[in-house]
Structure 1
Amino acid sequence: MPPAGSDSSVAVDGCLCEDASDGRKRCQQCERNSKKSGLTSSSSSYALLSFDSFPLEDYDKRWRIFTASVKGFAIGAGIKGGLSLFAILARLRRRRSLSSVKKVQMSSGGQDLVLALKETLRYGLFLGTFAGTFVSVDELIAALGGHRRTARWRALLAGAIAGPSMLLTGYNTQHTSLAVYILMRAAVLASRCGIKSKRFGRICKPLTWAHGDLFLMCLSSTQILCAYILKQDSLPQSYKSFLNKHGGKDPIILQGIRDIACGMPFTNLDQITKYYKSTGIDVVLDPQMKVPCSIIHENQSCSWHAISFFIQAYKRAVPVYLPVYLIPALIVHRQGLSKRPFTILAKGLFGTARSSLFLSTYCTSAWVWTCFLFRLFKRCNVAMLALGTFPTGLALAIEKKSRRIEISLYCLARAIESFFTTMSEIGYLPHLKNLKRVDVLIFSISTAIIMHCYAIERDVFRSKYLNVLDWVFGVPLPPYDTTPRKKNSEDDCGL
């Protein structure tokens, strides 16, 4: 900066021009340099953004819309494509161990690949359209209504309008679980905003409980695990398959537990006996039994069953978490892999081992707690199942703190969906059956809240999520100046 009272300044590139502070114009070269430096500094950090210093004429709205659409498509296609690839590999591996008759019943590898490509394209279009629609509506409202005037509600409306892009995944494909999970994420962000608020701070204070994630996981486990045994139809098909695999029990065994828990006569004791005999175990089942431990773990004791089940559960859990840690390492840390590959890979392997320990402990403890209560009270009913599955959620304490809330919210979304589906089927909520695409409505409301927080209350996001959103949507312009200013011709530009 020149000394006070000076009428000239020397530019970085050696250009001499008049100072613009007294109202006189600068030369074109200095004007361009000033705009470039303003744009560079503005993109470095949101905290440093200033509406007055941001060169709006250099803010390319069309480029922001295009890049958001492309990046959204890349994320959707990348995540869905990666998961589909691992599913195809797992299916091919399982196909090799099946008999020729069962191989014929399974879909061919070519059909699986075509279906995976379709799903990958659909999810890419879904997220690409969502990102492009949000940015387009955001920019359109800002241009028509003014950036500062519409700052408080623009992102809320844009997020709601972008929500129906979920229909691109398939018009008849329900995504209730995903919609409820996003709603849970929106509720977390809204609660963080409430904690900051003077008006709602006291009401939201209990949400700051340090172990709230464990409580949510225990609450979710009660509904999910009871549904796994008593009413699997209330769970999404993919999640039901996941539970059947990691629950480690054949549906025939679950039917026997369901009969005794519901107080009904046994319908398949002969089938259970034949099932165990096919595995080389002879078991004698009493039709008058009060405790189903002999159905759950044949001739084994409860303690030995827990040990053997844990070993098997850990082997099943490792392939689940390998892609969870491997794919982000290849995408997020792709540049660091060349510099410190052993550190990143070791961290990924440790995370895989830790998460696998959580899942195997979670599944094992479900059977341990229920067996313990059955033996203690010498009875098996729905109340015993609910009571025994509640402490199962404590296994989440094994996971890293930053992942606990993610897992608990994911399970809570499944539990809520299962609960309302069950209530609807037994007649308590008959009107839910008439709602065809309630998932789109829930998703639109949730994305409206999330995008509003993203534009106005950015500090309620964790840095890693904020970085991803900024990468996709572009660092947003500051909503408005916090200091009041006099109304002049510059404020009438509507930006």
Structure 2
Amino acid sequence: MNSAVNGAAYTCPLCVDLDPSCPHIPKLTSSSSSCSLLSLEPHSVEDYDKLWRIFTASVKGFSIGAGIKGGLAIFAILSRFRRRRSLPSARKGEMVSSSDDVLLALKETLRYGLFLGTFAGTFVSVDEIIAALGGHRRTAKWRALLAGLIAGPSMLLTGVNTQHNSLAIYILMRAAVLASRCGIKSKRFGHICKPLTWAHGDIFLMCLSSSQILSAYILKQESLPPSYKSFLNKHGAKNAAILQAVRDLACGLPLSNVDVIENYYKSTGVDIKLDQNMKIPCSIVHGNQSCGSHVISFFIQAYQRAVPVYLPVYLIPALIVHRQGLMNRPFTILAKGLLGTARSSLFLSVYCSSAWMWTCFLFNILKKCNIPVVAMGTFPAGLALAIEKKTRRLEISLYCLSRAIESFFTCMADIGCFPQSKNLKRLDVVIFSISTAIIMHCYAAERDVFRSKYLNVLDWVFGIPIPPYETTPRKNRSYSCPDFLQTKDVYVT
């Protein structure tokens, strides 16, 4: 029998006919959604239960949203509680504050679970309705695009008045990467996407993002989302008075809080006298330490701060994605998780310590501190991304790029370059919906642009059925995909 990848029917050598009812033609099965979502046993496409697919997609979407958000919330609460215990505070007020944290974490967990559960259920419902009315094969090219667009506004379930600009921009970046992969393998648009074929484009994006993000951390923190600002303050590990003094010097303003900085260092056991007319802020940043010794001591402390951040990042997905493997080879999976935690913690600690190292280096070389010097000093900090595993670099660079874009446009809007629109209050929902439409279309029609681990998760949740007598494009790619955009896995029909 001969088969084509994109919709060609089988030709039976016995009947010499294209009749799909030919008894000699084997029934195709889908590893995506025609598997029972509980037993994972294959069934023919015609026999799968549509209502059961909608129900299980909603439940699994809810479990992923609630599991990830809840797991991160637990680690955050434990970390916050440990910090409070080390501070001299009233026990009663501490208990009240802790209960408020738990209640807020439960609400956020429920909201994100409902968000992803509703998104999955809505997408699958629209997909099934369109397929039932228009037919699987006739609607295969655009059905997932429309379903993803309609499911996008489920983001509002996380809070009607809660803006998610960073999340929307990040999903847009993911959609752009998938669209780029599709464009690179396309004969029509391949030449347009040639600039995307840089071997280390992910590291360049990280350096570009670092220049904006770390400059904003020092010069304009209000341009960053509150949660991300809190993250940077924790891992930047510098007192607000120190950042204020560096900001004053970079902006050409006189130092106004020298006494505050001296008192801060005195509280840490360091007696230092600062010059009111200094030109470079090295003594402000690290007191009486030299620049080199400051980088070493900062790195050790940064690594200790980074480990609790990455433990849930590796262990929670291991419990969800590798739940079956944990029963058979728990030590192997847990060892990989711990190794990944150590490696990612090394990346974050080198990233933060090198940012201070490069800025100090430029301050001493150029003998001045201004905004361009701060931007140049924070740019090479992104080189630390090379420590990370290749498959994670693009994820991290896109996440940081989304934060950098949001911060950049906020800064531009504050100086009047981009007046804010009063008519479109939830632009984040619009961007998110368009992005999910692109992603879900690629998932249904261009599956080979996904890495296998993401494809497996999407199959587990959504399970798009394959139209009868048609296969998904799981084949060796004949196009040249850039190193930082390529999917390392090869799918064979």
* 2:29 aligned residue: 42
Structure 1 letter corresponding to 2:211: T
Aligned counterpart in structure 2 of residue 253 of structure 1, from 219, 242, 246:
242
- Equivalent-residue separation in structure 2 for 1:241 and 1:434 (angstroms): 31
The within-5 A match list for 1:142-153 is 142-153=131-142
Aligned counterpart in structure 1 of residue 254 of structure 2, from 260, 265, 284:
265
Structure 2 letter corresponding to 1:310: F
Aligned counterpart in structure 2 of residue 344 of structure 1, from 315, 333, 357:
333
1:100 and 2:70 aligned: no
- Equivalent-residue separation in structure 1 for 2:32 and 2:432 (angstroms): 30
* 1:387 aligned residue: 376
Q: 1:75 to 1:315 in 2, by over 3 A?
A: same
* 1:61 aligned residue: 50
Q: 1:57 to 1:350 in 2, by over 3 A?
A: closer
Task: Judging by fraction of residues, say which structure has more helix.
Answer: 1
C-alpha displacement of 1:147: 2.1
- Equivalent-residue separation in structure 1 for 2:177 and 2:396 (angstroms): 13
C-alpha displacement of 1:336: 2.4
1:81 and 2:109 aligned: no
Say whether the 8 Å CA contact 1:224–1:415 is kept in structure 2: yes
Equivalent pairs counted in the alignment come to: 445
C-alpha displacement of 1:210: 1.5
Aligned counterpart in structure 1 of residue 148 of structure 2, from 146, 159, 163:
159
Aligned counterpart in structure 2 of residue 274 of structure 1, from 263, 271, 285:
263
1:287 and 2:276 aligned: yes
2:67 counterpart SS class: helix
* 1:5 aligned residue: none
C-alpha displacement of 1:346: 1.7
C-alpha displacement of 1:267: 1.5
Q: 1:103 to 1:325 in 2, by over 3 A?
A: farther
1:297 and 2:278 aligned: no
1:213 and 2:213 aligned: no
Say whether the 8 Å CA contact 1:151–1:479 is kept in structure 2: no
2:368 counterpart SS class: coil
* 1:452 aligned residue: 441
1:108 counterpart SS class: helix
Structure 2 letter corresponding to 1:449: I
Say whether the 8 Å CA contact 2:30–2:44 is kept in structure 1: no
- Equivalent-residue separation in structure 2 for 1:63 and 1:268 (angstroms): 64
Q: Which has the higher contact order (CA 8 A, sep 6+)?
A: 2
Say whether the 8 Å CA contact 2:45–2:468 is kept in structure 1: no
Deviates more, 1:306-315 or 1:145-154: 145-154
Say whether the 8 Å CA contact 2:165–2:406 is kept in structure 1: yes
Q: 1:294 to 1:103 in 2, by over 3 A?
A: farther
* 1:398 aligned residue: 387
- Equivalent-residue separation in structure 1 for 2:355 and 2:171 (angstroms): 27
C-alpha displacement of 1:335: 2.5
Structure 2 letter corresponding to 1:468: V
Structure 2 letter corresponding to 1:75: I
1:123 and 2:124 aligned: no
C-alpha displacement of 1:103: 7.4
Q: Over aligned residue pairs, what C-alpha RMSD do you find?
A: 2.4
* 1:72 aligned residue: 61
- Equivalent-residue separation in structure 1 for 2:95 and 2:201 (angstroms): 43
- Equivalent-residue separation in structure 1 for 2:247 and 2:458 (angstroms): 45
- Equivalent-residue separation in structure 2 for 1:147 and 1:342 (angstroms): 44
1:314 and 2:303 aligned: yes
Structure 2 letter corresponding to 1:209: W
What percentage of residue pairs aligned between the two structures are identical?
77
2:136 counterpart SS class: coil
TM-score, scaled to structure 2: 0.86
Say whether the 8 Å CA contact 2:249–2:279 is kept in structure 1: yes
C-alpha displacement of 1:337: 2.5
Structure 2 letter corresponding to 1:455: A
C-alpha displacement of 1:345: 1.9
- Equivalent-residue separation in structure 2 for 1:216 and 1:134 (angstroms): 32
* 1:334 aligned residue: 323
C-alpha displacement of 1:349: 1.3
- Equivalent-residue separation in structure 2 for 1:103 and 1:428 (angstroms): 49
1:188 and 2:177 aligned: yes
C-alpha displacement of 1:90: 1.1
- Equivalent-residue separation in structure 2 for 1:42 and 1:180 (angstroms): 36
Deviates more, 1:264-273 or 1:104-113: 104-113
1:213 counterpart SS class: helix
C-alpha displacement of 1:140: 1.1
Say whether the 8 Å CA contact 1:276–1:283 is kept in structure 2: yes
Q: 1:339 to 1:142 in 2, by over 3 A?
A: closer
- Equivalent-residue separation in structure 1 for 2:253 and 2:207 (angstroms): 28
- Equivalent-residue separation in structure 2 for 1:107 and 1:200 (angstroms): 59
1:373 and 2:339 aligned: no
- Equivalent-residue separation in structure 2 for 1:414 and 1:479 (angstroms): 43
C-alpha displacement of 1:205: 1.8
C-alpha displacement of 1:124: 0.8
The within-5 A match list for 1:207-246 is 207-246=196-235
* 2:349 aligned residue: 360
- Equivalent-residue separation in structure 2 for 1:385 and 1:433 (angstroms): 34
* 1:112 aligned residue: 101
Structure 1: which 5+ residue stretches go unaligned?
A: 1-19, 24-30, 47-53, 483-495
- Equivalent-residue separation in structure 2 for 1:45 and 1:187 (angstroms): 24
- Equivalent-residue separation in structure 2 for 1:363 and 1:219 (angstroms): 15
- Equivalent-residue separation in structure 2 for 1:103 and 1:247 (angstroms): 31
- Equivalent-residue separation in structure 2 for 1:479 and 1:184 (angstroms): 33
Structure 1 letter corresponding to 2:78: L
C-alpha displacement of 1:21: 7.4
Structure 2 letter corresponding to 1:203: I
Aligned counterpart in structure 2 of residue 175 of structure 1, from 164, 169, 193:
164
- Equivalent-residue separation in structure 2 for 1:217 and 1:245 (angstroms): 20
* 2:396 aligned residue: 407
1:430 and 2:387 aligned: no
